[in-house]
């Protein structure tokens, strides 16, 4: 594999913007794509603010911050990509959207490695409509990518070994830890961790959605050493994101009851109580918290 010098990141949401920042800080020429200029503007502002905060905390130098920003460019059209070695897609978790993007990437990114940041969809399925599925791989970052140290690297069924090796090396250059997971629904984390929230919701539902029990479950699980209780965690992740991931894993396993979503999740999403981002989830949040 040729050396990876430049990385394209597709999608300027929380994940895309975070991955782009991680790539730029690691010294890669980084090109962030989003069809929405406003989303790109927000992503740049957030990145700038985060870097300033790191400088003020002496985590990085002012020169590091300036260097990072200088490595970061934005485009609103895929045709503006030039000399991309690795494209990391962080578009919405929708197979059709991702497949369409990958078909276009083949056109605009030539021989680049095509990576997907999918958390629950099959990497092999995303690669299903490209002419060379051997260069497609999963690189699953965790939220927020700038802080979480893990990247799951998921070779699809047809991914070439050298593409896997290159992806593992890039993760290392980004200062993160990679784990290689088989292309199975939810990979490692989104599958194995599912009962943490799934059982908590189940216990809550069995007991009349008791407010006191909800708080006690969070308290007990924090006592057991978890950084956050399951309900606090769902509020942080976003009920909509969590519910969508749960549904995808459940459907991917052909409705194995182990992964069944909870009616409580659905009710929360449908009533707009999405967690911290909407100001209200299992808990209420003021603007400051």
Partner 1 sequence: VKFYVFDLEELEANVGHFQRKSAWRIELSKILRQRLENTGNFAANGHEADIIIDIEGGIGFRDVSLWFDPETELYFQNADASAYVFCDNNSANHNQRYSSNTTLREKIIGFSIIPPFTDSSILEIARPLQTPISELNKARSFFESLGFTVVEVPDGPGLIQARIVACLANEAFSALSEGVADAKTIDTAIKLGTNYPLGPLEWAELIGLESILAIMEGLQSEYGEDRYRPHPLLKRLVAADMSIAQFEAWKREE
Catalytic residues: 119, 140, 152, 190
Phi, psi of 235 (to 5 degrees): -65, -40
Q: Please, what is the minimum distance in Å from the beta carbon of residue 48 to partner 1?
A: 27
Confirm or reject binding of residue 95 to partner 1 (CB under 8 A). Answer: no
Confirm or reject binding of residue 172 to partner 1 (CB under 8 A). Answer: no
The residue count for binding partner 1 (CB under 8 A) is: 44
Q: Please, what is the minimum distance in Å from the beta carbon of residue 111 to partner 1?
A: 29
Runs of H (alpha helix) within 142-224: 161-173, 189-192, 194-206, 211-223
Asked if 164 and 34 count as a contact pair (C-beta separation under 8 A), the reply is no
Encoded tokens for 243: 């519910």
Among 184, 205, 211, 271, binds partner 1 (CB under 8 A): 184
Residue whose CB is less far from partner 1, 149 or 161: 149
Among 59, 100, 211, 222, binds partner 1 (CB under 8 A): 222
Among 38, 92, 223, 287, binds partner 1 (CB under 8 A): 223
Encoded tokens for 227: 């950084």
Select from 192, 176, 212 the least CA-distant residue to 258: 192
Q: Please, what is the minimum distance in Å from the beta carbon of residue 217 to partner 1?
A: 6
Binding segment toward partner 1, per CB under 8 A, in 58-66, 73-81, 174-182, 263-271: 174-182
Confirm or reject binding of residue 257 to partner 1 (CB under 8 A). Answer: yes
| Of residues 124-153, those binding partner 1 (CB under 8 A) | 142, 148-150, 152
Q: State the Cα–Cα distance between residues 218 and 156, nearest whole angstrom.
A: 37
Q: State the Cα–Cα distance between residues 199 and 195, nearest whole angstrom.
A: 5
Q: In what order do the strands lie in the sheet with 29-33?
A: 72-75, 29-33, 6-10, 86-89, 113-116, 136-141, 150-155, 177-180
Residue whose CB is less far from partner 1, 78 or 200: 200
Q: State the Cα–Cα distance between residues 232 and 238, nearest whole angstrom.
A: 10
Residues that bind partner 1 in the complex, under the rule CB under 8 A: 142, 148-150, 152, 177, 179-182, 184, 187-189, 191-196, 198-200, 203, 206-207, 213, 216-217, 219-228, 230, 256-258, 260
């Amino acid at each position: 594999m040729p050396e990876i010098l430049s990385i394209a990141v597709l999608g300027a949401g929380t994940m895309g913007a975070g991955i782009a920042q991680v790539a730029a800080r690691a010294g890669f020429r980084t090109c962030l794509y989003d069809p929405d200029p406003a989303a790109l503007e927000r992503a740049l502002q957030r990145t700038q603010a985060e870097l300033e905060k790191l400088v003020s905390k002496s985590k990085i130098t002012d020169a590091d911050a300036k260097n990072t920003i200088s490595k970061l460019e934005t485009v609103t059209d895929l045709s503006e990509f030039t000399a991309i070695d690795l494209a990391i897609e962080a578009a919405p978790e929708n197979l059709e959207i991702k497949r369409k993007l990958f078909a276009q990437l083949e056109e605009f990114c030539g021989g680049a490695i095509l990576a997907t940041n999918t958390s629950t969809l099959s990497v092999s399925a995303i690669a299903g409509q490209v002419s060379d599925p051997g260069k497609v791989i999963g690189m699953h970052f965790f939220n927020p990518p700038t802080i979480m140290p893990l990247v799951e690297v998921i070779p699809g069924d047809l991914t070439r070994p050298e593409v896997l090796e290159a992806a593992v090396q890039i993760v290392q250059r980004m200062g993160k830890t990679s784990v290689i997971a088989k292309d199975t629904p939810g990979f490692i984390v989104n599958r194995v961790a599912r009962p943490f929230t799934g059982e908590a919701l189940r216990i809550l539902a069995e007991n009349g959605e008791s407010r006191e029990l909800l708080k006690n479950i969070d308290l007990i699980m924090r006592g057991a050493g978890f950084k956050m209780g399951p309900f606090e965690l769902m509020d942080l992740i976003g009920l909509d994101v969590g519910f969508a991931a749960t549904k995808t894993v459940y459907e991917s396993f052909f409705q194995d009851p182990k992964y069944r979503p909870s009616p409580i999740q659905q009710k929360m999403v449908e009533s707009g109580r999405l967690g911290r981002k909407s100001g209200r989830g299992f808990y209420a949040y003021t603007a400051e918290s």
